[in-house]
């Protein structure tokens, strides 16, 4: 589902569901588009595609670590150190943060998809600097979703932002040649974001931008040859990935000023 108002992106979502759930899930997506914090959608597009069960790859959700910071500036410093720990070059990590803050699209706004950035050189590798790369075709199985929501509720994190971001990040960091992902939301009233990698899990950071800021997005840091880049993009955008096992949800860690 993709929703727009005056040509501006309002909301997006997707699911992998059995066909007998299709009608209910489609209705839920319409309601989401009509009640989003960025405004009511004027145009809603829903597409449905059949996926053969044999095409599915299965995975285990990343462990979640909940980092509580005292300011968005501190959150960005923490994110930078986490990216360096994931072997992203420090200057490249700083560049990625600046691009998200300034608006990574050519018009200074948020991109529709994610940036692809070389983890060593900082070179942007996406073919379209407005569209970027869209990670797609991933979801949680029904049992995994129930288990995850139960675990998140204990920590006050049972919401769509966390569930969907954790699901997407799990697929992204298991993609070939991906080193890490960094994200903060473009929703003006949602201030959290994360750094994710296979090495460190999903590191949620409570505060990464000022209230009301609409610029945000995702960065996928990669070490990929030109020959493998096409395969990586195709895997991110087309490979169905269903998460049927849940990791750990860790207690919050409270950070002093860095």
Domains of the chain by residue range: 2-50, 57-254
Q: Please give the pLDDT value at position 76.
A: 98
Angle between helices 142-154 and 160-173 (to 10 degrees): 120
Q: Please give the pLDDT value at position 227.
A: 85
Considering the entire predicted model, what is its pTM? 0.94
For 18-31, write each residue's pLDDT tens digit. Answer: 999 999 999 999 99
Q: Please give the pLDDT value at position 258.
A: 55
For 166-182, write each residue's pLDDT tens digit. Answer: 999 999 999 999 999 99
40 neighbors 30 (Cβ within 8 angstroms): no
Q: Please give the pLDDT value at position 6.
A: 83
Q: Please give the pLDDT value at position 257.
A: 64
Give backbone dihedrals phi and psi of 4, rounded to 5 degrees, phi first. Answer: -135, 160
Residue ranges in the chain modelled with pLDDT below 50:
none
Strand order in the sheet with 2-5: 8-12, 2-5, 43-45
């Amino acid at each position: 589902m993709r929703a727009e108002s005056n040509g501006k992106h309002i909301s997006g979502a997707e699911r992998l569901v059995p066909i007998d759930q299709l009608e209910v899930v489609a209705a839920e997506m319409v309601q989401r588009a009509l009640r989003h914090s960025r405004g009511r959608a004027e145009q809603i597009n829903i597409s449905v595609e059949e996926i053969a069960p044999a095409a599915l790859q299965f995975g285990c959700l990343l462990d979640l670590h909940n980092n509580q910071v005292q300011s968005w500036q501190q959150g960005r410093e923490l994110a930078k150190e986490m990216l360096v720990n994931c072997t992203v070059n420090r200057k490249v990590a700083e560049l990625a943060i600046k691009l998200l803050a300034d608006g990574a699209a050519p018009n200074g706004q948020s991109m529709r998809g994610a940036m692809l950035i070389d983890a060593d050189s900082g070179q942007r590798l996406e073919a379209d600097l407005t569209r970027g790369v869209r990670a797609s075709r991933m979801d949680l199985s029904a049992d995994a979703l129930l288990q995850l929501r139960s675990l998140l509720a204990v920590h006050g994190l049972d919401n769509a932002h966390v569930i969907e971001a954790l699901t997407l990040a799990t697929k992204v960091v298991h993609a070939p040649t991906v080193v890490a992902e960094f994200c903060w939301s473009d929703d003006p009233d949602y201030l959290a974001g994360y750094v994710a990698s296979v090495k460190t899990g999903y590191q949620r950071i409570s505060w990464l931008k000022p209230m009301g800021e609409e610029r945000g997005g995702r960065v996928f840091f990669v070490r990929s040859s030109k020959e493998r880049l096409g395969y990586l993009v195709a895997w991110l955008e087309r490979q169905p990935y269903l998460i049927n096992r849940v990791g750990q949800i860790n207690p919050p860690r409270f950070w002093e000023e860095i």
